[in-house]
Amino acid sequence: MKKIFETLKQKWAEYLLEILVIIIGILGAFALNNWNLERDIKRQETSILSEIKRNVEYNVIELDLDIEKITERMNSFKVFLDEIKREKPNSDTLLYHFTTIQSGRYFNGDASGYELLKIKGADVDLPKELRYSINHYFEEVIGDMEIRFSGVRDQRRDYIRDYYRHNFEVNSRDSSGVYLGTTKDYSFLAKDKVFINSIYLYQGVNLNLLRLLNASKEKSEELLVKLEDYLSERQVIL
């Protein structure tokens, strides 16, 4: 025992250094492991946000196509209503624009990145404001858009389709699946106040949809700016 104490007395500094080296090595290993784990989490976060950004960019393209289509439809409403009031309306003009009024292109948004965020949510530490913006965009803006387009389909059936079936001789379908045909009697339809009122009502539905599309595009562009700014900061950190 005396020898042990003598040895410790002579080599305590050497033993202490070895213990410190071991402790530092263990702490360093833990620190490196934590750093790698945090880096992996940040990379996963960046990957998910990049996918969300691609989703929003795709949605902007979809919204632009829908805005173009609804704008074309709104023009056809005007031409059709003006033409049908004439004493001798042009049947080809009426057919073309009545078909355009019915033609459907329905919003098909992408939310794959958002679905992934919901699955991995606990592991993705986003600023509250950015997370709220993402949630609001996909749940409210895009979610409402899909509901509204579904409503437009139903209202097209209520306001337009029965008149088309009862008053037109169907010949074929166009590329979007809309029935094409020639009217049996435009003069009869022109005098049908319920029919004309239905056209005006459906015109109003499309006008509200166009406003919603433009507002949704604006919200999409606002979210894109936030995502781009945040991802740029992340690139600097990584």
Q: What is the pLDDT of residue 218?
A: 95
The β-bridge partners of 170 are 181
8 Å CB contact between 184 and 177:
no
∠ CA 83-198-158, nearest 5°, is 130
The rounded distance, in Å, linking the Cα atoms of 19 and 13 is 10
The rounded distance, in Å, linking the Cα atoms of 151 and 142 is 14
8 Å CB contact between 184 and 167:
yes
8 Å CB contact between 45 and 234:
yes
8 Å CB contact between 105 and 66:
yes
8 Å CB contact between 140 and 146:
no
Q: Show the DSSP H helices in the chain as ranges.
A: 2-84, 91-102, 112-119, 128-136, 143-156, 162-167, 186-191, 193-237
8 Å CB contact between 113 and 127:
no
- Domain locations along the chain: 2-237
3-state SS class at 141: helix
Q: What is the pLDDT of residue 77?
A: 93
3-state SS class at 126: coil
Q: What is the pLDDT of residue 211?
A: 92
pLDDT over threshold 90, residue 60: yes
Has this prediction a pTM greater than 0.75?
Answer: no
Question: How many CB atoms within 10 Å of residue 106?
Answer: 14
Note the pLDDT tens digit of each residue in 178-191: 545 555 566 777 77
Note the pLDDT tens digit of each residue in 120-155: 766 677 888 999 999 999 998 988 887 777 777 777
3-state SS class at 205: helix
Q: How far is CA 40 from CA 36, 110, 119, 160, 166, in A?
A: 6, 26, 17, 55, 63
Highest mean pLDDT among 77-81, 89-93, 157-161, 166-170: 77-81
8 Å CB contact between 156 and 202:
yes
